[in-house]
Amino acid sequence: MFQELVHAKAFQNYLEKAHFPQAPQYLYDPIRYILSLSGKRIRPLLVLMGAELFDKSVVEQALPASAAIEFFHNFSLIHDDIMDVAPLRRGKPTVHQKWNDNVAILSGDALLIKAYQELAKCPTEKIPSLLHLFNVTSLQVCEGQQYDMDFEMRTQVSEPEYIDMIRLKTSVLLGCALQMGAIIAGADERSQTLLYDFGVNLGIAFQLQDDILDVYGNPKSFGKQVGGDILSNKKTILFIKLQELISLTDQEELDCLLRQSVDVEPKKVEKMMNLYAKYDIQTLAIYQKEKFTTIAYEKLTEIQVEAGQKEALFSLANALMHRVR
Amino acid sequence: MFQELVHAKAFQNYLEKAHFPQAPQYLYDPIRYILSLSGKRIRPLLVLMGAELFDKSVVEQALPASAAIEFFHNFSLIHDDIMDVAPLRRGKPTVHQKWNDNVAILSGDALLIKAYQELAKCPTEKIPSLLHLFNVTSLQVCEGQQYDMDFEMRTQVSEPEYIDMIRLKTSVLLGCALQMGAIIAGADERSQTLLYDFGVNLGIAFQLQDDILDVYGNPKSFGKQVGGDILSNKKTILFIKLQELISLTDQEELDCLLRQSVDVEPKKVEKMMNLYAKYDIQTLAIYQKEKFTTIAYEKLTEIQVEAGQKEALFSLANALMHRVR
């Protein structure tokens, strides 16, 4: 993982040189704040690794594109947090919580524009195709967020609908990050598409794993409250699978559980886990996760570059998919 | 004005062919809605006229750029209306009013991205410079909106601060629209800058005129309630000029008036107008408006194209500046 650390450092340096004016402070302070919360910086890393896969000499040229992806991601966090009325992000107050909704709306807007400003710094001849990909992806992310909010209002969501929602909301951006790197490195279109598909499928697998870990993760190593999704009645892959398979009698118990908060029913998580166990939901969900992981690996395998050059991406994928948190 | 009608029709046709998907409906219905409210469509017209000034044959090529400007403008209306808690826009319910804040945030985001998608349809070799200009301008518009909100919280705003705020919030987009047309027509940089400056100065003059008409406009032809700015204690050019010049004794009367709503003081508008008259504020404001109008005309005059070709822009400027509403 040595090379990843080099990339992470290069990205961090680039970010520190990024210029955000002092005034108006309510526009730019929130941007500095959200970027300082940092997170895992997986997305910009993917841009650099996507470039490196095809041409080690262009990694530096890919830094503005990696910043574009990170800025976009953080813009979407600021606005999603308003919509979800989330008080915390990465353990710190969200922007709308620390300031207010108006500040969060406008600073989010500015950060989205800043993402495009980074795109404009990419190698000139690559800008049209980068812009096209970035636009399509950004719009898909908005669509995914809308579907996510729509699904909260519905009682029934099918598995294909759910998979499509997480694909749009979170996975296409990973594919886009990798493909942007590939575009900058001058990869051919087939290779670009394979790398994109690797990212998207890995992203879906990662999200499914997140759903699984929420219930079956080790409480000590999983960063969040175990069973949090159950307590908030979230429509995860586990929940959707259960709804698909549940008998009429168990459906009554499920409906009852969904109406009860943990104050009324302290065993809510335990009872839901019993239902999951009865229908072997964990196995089914793991099967789905593995399916997308396998597709991802196949796509990466198909790319026509020397096997050794793919090592970094394979090991990143391994690290993400066998993670304990 | 015949040519303007041709442009308006071309733009309308282009817009009608613009594809917004049916689903997710809460993302795209609000976009269709805000665009259907239409407004005056001055900004897209400026793009087409900016192109026509230098090369009549490229007007059609400028249609995507004109859509980008119009989409951006409507994005900013959706988000500004949330921040200003505005119930009406062009006489119809605002997006956040008709749906809700979340729908308005996300559909606004999508419309901003749609603006960039139109940019990506511009002639490929022009995209990098169009993107650069569009980014700088968009960010300035956000800064202007932030300053506008900041000023509401302050008791004192200087005239240069106010002029700079309206320049950022509304005028740079007019300059940008014109310059984008000029870029597409392949105008040289000096001509581009002159045309940009024409737009920005005209925009400032137009905004100052708006402040003046709010108080001194003909109630029959002015589209809004006369004195609306006075009733809402808005910091207009008139108000700022008055604050600059007012005596200590009159300041007491002003402070008192500002604290009183129209229910408590039915003569609020009349009394404020008396103060404006005492310090000849209308004349001073008109002088400022004329100053920026003159600069605008000078910039347009300086552009090295055949005088006849500038006629359309001069008459549009005349129409805007001698308007009764």
Give a yes or no: residue B285 inside a domain.
Answer: yes
For chain B, say whether A268 makes contact (Cβ under 8 Å): no
Name the pairing type of β-strands B88-89 and B92-93: antiparallel
Q: Is residue A228 part of a domain?
A: yes
Taking the Cβ of residue B145 and every Cβ of chain A, the question of whether any pair is shorter than 8 Å is answered with yes
pLDDT of the residue at B324: 47
- Indicate yes or no: CB of A101 within 8 angstroms of CB of B106: no
Binary contact (A128, B145; C-beta < 8 A): no
Dihedral angle sign, alpha carbons of residues A7, A13, A18, A22: positive
Share of chain A above pLDDT 70, in %: 98
Identify whether B170 is part of a domain. Answer: no
Instruction: Say if the Cβ atoms of A106 and B138 lie within 8 Å.
Output: no
What is the DSSP track for B248-279?
Answer: HHHHHHHHHHHH--TTT-TTHHHHHHHHHHHT
pLDDT at A324: 47
- The predicted-structure confidence for B88-128, as pLDDT tens digits, reads as follows 998 899 999 999 999 999 999 999 999 999 999 999 999 99
Chain A: closest CA distance from residue B323 (Å) = 32
Residue of B nearest to A75 (CA): B109
Residue A152 sits in a domain whose CATH number is 1.10.600.10
Q: Identify the bridge partners of residue A92 per DSSP, sorted by sequence position.
A: A89
Residue B1 — pLDDT band, cuts 50, 70, 90?
A: low
Q: Note whether residue A171 is domain-resident.
A: no
How many A-B residue pairs are in contact by the CB < 8 A criterion? 109
CA distance B272 to chain A (A): 31
H-state helical runs in chain B = 2-17, 25-36, 42-54, 63-83, 95-98, 101-119, 127-153, 159-166, 172-184, 189-216, 228-231, 237-245, 248-259, 268-278, 281-302, 307-321
Q: Which of A113, A114, A121, A183 to mutate to test the interface with B (most CBs of B within 10 A)?
A: A113
- Name the closest residue on chain A to residue B26, using Cα atoms: A146
pLDDT value at residue A212: 96
Residues whose CB falls within 8 Å of the CB of residue A149, separated by 6 or more in sequence, listed in order: A83, B26, B102, B106
Contacts of A149 in chain B (CB under 8 A): 26, 102, 106
A152 plus A213 within the same structural domain: no
* Block residue for tokens 């749609």: B114
Beta bridge partners of B92: B89
Q: Same domain for A193 and A311? A: yes
Q: Is the pLDDT of residue A16 over 80?
A: yes
B89 - beta bridge partners? B92
Whole-number pLDDT of residue A139: 98
Q: Is A138 on the interface with B (CB under 8 A)?
A: yes
Whose CA is closest to A207, among A94, A320, A295? A320
Tell whether B174 is covered by a domain.
no
Residue contact A120–B109, C-beta within 8 A: no
Residue of chain B whose Cα is closest to the Cα of A84: B102
Domain shared by B134 and B227, yes or no: no
Same domain, A99 and A8: yes
ipTM confidence: 0.95
Q: Rounded CA gap, A63 and A10, in Å? A: 8
Same domain? For A44 and A137 the reply is: yes
Please indicate whether, in this complex, the C-beta atoms of A120 and B128 are within 8 angstroms of each other: yes
Can you tell me the mean pLDDT for A247-257?
95
For residue B153, give every residue at least 6 positions away whose Cβ sits within 8 Å of its Cβ, in sequence order, or none. none
Question: How far off is chain B from A33, nearest CA to CA, in Å?
Answer: 17
Residue A116 Cα, gap to closest chain B Cα (Å): 7
Residues spanned by the domain of A114:
1-164
Q: For residues B214-237, b (16+ Cβ closer than 10 Å) or e, as one string?
A: bbbbeeeebeeebbebbeebebbb
What is the percent of chain B with per-residue pLDDT over 70, rounded to a whole number?
98
Same domain, A151 and A196: no
Question: A112, A116, A138: best mutation site toward chain B, by most B Cβ within 10 Å?
Answer: A116
CB contact under 8 A, A128 and B127: yes
Q: Is residue A158 domain-shared with residue A224, that is, in the same domain?
A: no
Residue A182 located in a structural domain: no
Domain count, chain B: 2
Calculate how close chain A gets to B236, using CA atoms only, in Å. Answer: 20
Residues A105 and A153 in one domain: yes
Which residue among A105, A120, A150 sits closest to B82, beta carbon to beta carbon?
A: A105
- Residues in Cβ contact with A83 at an 8 Å cutoff, skipping those fewer than 6 apart: A145, A149, B102, B105, B106
**Whether the predicted pLDDT of A221 surpasses 80:** no
Q: Are B157 and B193 part of one and the same domain?
A: no
Q: Which of B129, B164, B199 is the last residue of a domain?
A: B164
Regarding whether B159 and B29 lie in a shared domain, the answer is yes
Task: Check pLDDT > 50 for residue A316.
Answer: yes
Q: Inter-axis angle of helices B42-54 and B63-83, to 10 degrees?
A: 150
User: Which of helix, strand or coil describes residue B55?
Assistant: coil
Q: Any idea which residue has 């072997």 for tokens?
A: A280
**Residue A169 lies inside a defined structural domain of this protein:** no
Regarding whether B230 and B140 lie in a shared domain, the answer is no
* Contact at CB, B110 and A139, closer than 8 angstroms: yes
Q: Are B114 and B63 in contact (CB under 8 A)?
A: no
Query: Does residue B196 sit in the same domain as residue B144?
Result: no
Tens digit of pLDDT for each residue in A59-77? 999 999 999 999 999 999 9
Q: Which of A114, A124, A142 faces B128 most closely, judged by CB atoms?
A: A124
Residue B171 lies in a domain: no
Q: Do B143 and A105 touch (CB under 8 A)?
A: no
Query: What type of residue sits at position B91?
Result: G
